[in-house]
Amino acid sequence: MRISFNRMEWAGAVGDLGALLPLAFAMIMVNGLSATGVLLSVGLFYIIGGIYYRVPIAVQPMKVVSAYAIAQSLSPTVITGAGFIIAALMLFLGTSGLVKKAAKMIPLPVIRGVQVSTGILLLLKGVSLAAGTSALQAAQGKVEPFLAVQSFGPVPLSVFFGILFGIVTMLLINSKRLPAGLVVVGCGAVLGGLLGSWQGLADLSLGFHLPQFMPFGFPTADDFSFALLALVLPQIPMTLGNAVIANRDLSHEYFGSESRRVTDRALCISMGIANGFAALIGGMPLCHGAGGLAAHYRFGARTCGSNLIIGALFVLLAIGFGSGSVKVLQLIPMGVLGVLLVFAGVQLVLAMRDMTARSAQAVIAVMLGITLLSNLAWAFGAGILLSIIFSRFKVSQ
């Protein structure tokens, strides 16, 4: 097993914070999830995933669950119920081998369609963070909710940060001496602290904080039924398409034989275990997103050392500062997180370079359109249907 803790691994370790932190912040502030539970489950999932898979592996919030839960201000017991259901389904699909059979039926253009659609969503989300128009920023009424300053002259501060660090990232994206991810996150946090977010650190005190067991109580039957219909059923197709099949394909593309442990079955089982644990301690539903893997890889992650780095940071924050741990992460401005997302999205879109047949490009285009108009779950189903039609009529050019 190759393992390194050099500058590139540190840069790659923080490369996916743009996807993780905004949703984590919102689910803690809006839905009342436990900050200790959220960060500890993320950190342990990173560490255990890195040790088992032996290559970089992403840890992200489940997007459909998170977005709907935040938009509807759902209670933590409903989210906990969703976590338990997802855990059971993932473990069933993985241990039964059904996911392996399902994966064999998914054509490659559909996998690329999932990757491209996810990449475009990440890119658009990054732009909205930099523009100050994301759901979290709109709800707070500020382009930089955790800073005392909101503009640089006539320019909103998130836009200023987006342009500044976008240029920095382009200049350093291939540098090994000054890794882009490390420079962007480090300098962004320093600037965020100087512009007011340091005030949130004033009340922090280092201690030893363990998460509560079932902090919100056990979900009721109504919680479970609502979670199944509103959160889990729309999430599962996206999870299978993006966090299992597309993620496995991308890992094999990036790391070759080193990623032999990254299988559809293993990904389902690890997500099942992680979601069961997160639900027990008040955390949020988690997955292995292909977009997260693209982000880690783009900013320099090449070994599981990146997982151990970011995982240890989250665990130390959760145990050391408890509910106040999230204030440390709020040092990083929204505009900076937006830059990370944009470059992660571009990296994922590049996965379609091997799709030269017009039929394959048509599948990807249709899936992207449906994703933007509706959601990735519907696009996944439409992509499979269109691939079957093209195959039946032998459309290849």
**Alpha-carbon distances, residue 329 vs 12, 139, 187, 318, 346 (angstroms):** 17, 19, 13, 11, 25
pLDDT tens per residue, range 125-159: 899 999 999 888 888 899 999 999 999 889 999 99
Q: Which residues, in sequence order, are bridge partners of residue 287?
A: 60
Backbone angles phi, psi at 286, to 5 degrees: -125, 155
Q: Which residue has the tokens 């999870």?
A: 239
| Cα–Cα distance for residue pair 383/370, rounded to 1 Å | 10
pLDDT tens per residue, range 157-169: 999 999 999 999 9
pLDDT tens per residue, range 158-207: 999 999 999 999 999 888 888 999 999 999 999 999 998 888 787 788 88
pLDDT higher than 80, residue 71:
no
pLDDT for the residue 178:
87
Residue positions counted in the chain:
397
pLDDT tens per residue, range 266-300: 999 999 999 999 999 999 999 998 889 999 999 99
pLDDT tens per residue, range 97-118: 999 888 888 888 988 888 888 8
CB neighbourhood size of 378 (10 A): 16
Where are the domains positioned within the chain?
A: 7-106+134-336
pLDDT tens per residue, range 335-383: 999 999 898 888 888 888 888 888 899 999 999 999 899 877 788 889 9
| Cα–Cα distance for residue pair 234/151, rounded to 1 Å | 38
H helix or E strand, kind and range, residue 138: helix 135-140
pLDDT band at 263 (very low <50, low <70, confident <90, very high): very high
CB neighbourhood size of 200 (10 A): 17
pLDDT for the residue 100:
86
Q: What is the dihedral of CA 28, 32, 34, 40, to 10 degrees?
A: -30
| Cα–Cα distance for residue pair 373/382, rounded to 1 Å | 13
| 120 touches 114 (CB < 8 A) | no
* Helical packing angle, 157-172 and 180-194, nearest 10°: 150
Question: Exposed e or buried b for every residue in 382-393, given b needs 16+ CB within 10 A?
Answer: bbbebbeebeee
Mean pLDDT of 79-96: 96
| 296 touches 122 (CB < 8 A) | no
Backbone angles phi, psi at 301, to 5 degrees: -70, 125
pLDDT for the residue 224:
96
pLDDT for the residue 18:
84
**DSSP secondary structure letters along 72-137:** TT--HHHHHHHHHHHHHHHHHHHHHSHHHHHHHTS-HHHHHHHHHHHHHHHHHHHHHHHHT-SHHH
Residue with more model confidence, 329 or 365: 365
pLDDT for the residue 236:
87
